[in-house]
Amino acid sequence: MSEITLVTAYFDINRKNWSGFERDSNKYINYFKFWAKIKNRLIIFTQAQFYEELYNIRKSFGLEKQTQIVIINNPIDCNKNLYMKMKKVMQNELAINFHFYKETKRPEVWRTDYNYITCLKFYLVYKAVNDFNLKNTVAWIDFGFNHGGNDGLINTEEFSFLWNYNFSPKIHLFSYKKIDIDRPIFDIVRSLDVYIRGNIMIAPSHLWPIFYQLTNDAMLSLLRCGFCDDDQTIELMAYKEKPELFEIHDIDFWYEGLSKFSNQKFTIKQQEIPKNKVYADYRYKFRIFFNSGNYQLAWKYLKKYLKYKIRDSSI
């Protein structure tokens, strides 16, 4: 079994004031504390004001020697040029109004710092690999992973284990739904749709620099077209550029990137298995073509949507 080095990060971007998406630093730190018993080597990037608390959390579990905390007080300095490009694009009213579901006020539409921080994770793992000369399997794990038990893994004590797993020498991503390889990226950005779950990513150390370059190029390409989005669309673009480097795992729940790919037994909150999501794309295409007056294509996708909807209703 190959032991996995974990990388995570937390930066305060004042999310406590985001209407409908409020999470303050205390909530995020409690999310972290829920899974921080994991015995793997853990590299944390954060701001100075969180150093002592995060260190003490790991120390309370006897894991201070397995923990490195790297201070980055201003994460914008990691790639200020990229941040400014993202900010310029996201201030354009045409770009804002391009989104099909702009009324939801999702942060991907209006928060430059959100998109920037979510996409910074690729750079941070690349930096960890270089700065700590990592030679093993390396995984990104979101600081707020499992949301304190709300995402399904409900027993914090069960995180007290050493995560190792024999992953193939590929970049491992975990899907939200089956990837539609022919669907253009602009349509995914417009609909705010999700294909890849960004909370866990795994790869051998030598592939992380390549993954970082692919994601950085993807974001720049998107920005040149006047669009911006968060990490999940950028991961999809990287996969579409070099699919031979990737292995995509279809999973039903956010936590399964960890629970299905380890030997640890977790207590899982009973949840309904998600219905097949393919018909959501058909419904979306029906609406687009109907609203544009292309009724022949609208009827085509309405029939596809009803077929899958009726099938799932009978499960």
Q: What pLDDT score was predicted for residue 188?
A: 92
- Residues 93, 112: Cα–Cα separation, whole Å: 14
Distance CA 4, CA 23 (A): 29
What does the block give as tokens for 210? 């390549």
CA dihedral 256, 146, 18, 233 (to 10 degrees): -20
User: What's the pLDDT at 154?
Assistant: 95
- The DSSP result for 146-214, as a single string, is GGGGTTSB--GGGG-S--B----SSEEEEESS---TTS-HHHHHHHT---EEEEEEEEEGGGHHHHHHH
pLDDT of residue 313: 59
Q: pLDDT value at position 315? A: 44
d(CA 117, CA 297): 39
pLDDT at position 29: 96
Show the tokens assigned to 134: 């990592």
For residue 144, how many C-alpha atoms fall within 13 Å in the half-sphere facing its CB? 14
pLDDT of residue 104: 56
pLDDT at site 290 = 79
Burial label, 174 (beta-carbon count in 10 A; 0-12, 13-18, 19+): buried
Using only the alpha carbons of the chain, give its radius of gyration. Answer: 20
What is d(CA 223, CA 186) in angstroms, rounded to the nearest whole number?
A: 11
Closest CA to 7 of 166, 161, 120: 120
Question: Which pLDDT score, from 0 to 100, does residue 237 have?
Answer: 98
pLDDT for residue 298: 78
CB 194 within 8 A of CB 234: no
Q: Read off φ and ψ for residue 139, nearest 5 degrees.
A: -125, 135
Count other Cβ atoms within 10 Å, centred on residue 13: 15
If the chain, 315 residues long, is cut into consecutive pieces of 10 residues, what is the mean pLDDT of each piece?
Answer: 89 77 85 98 98 98 98 97 97 88 74 96 98 97 96 96 96 93 92 93 98 98 97 98 97 95 93 63 75 78 76 56
The reported pTM is 0.90
pLDDT of residue 284: 72
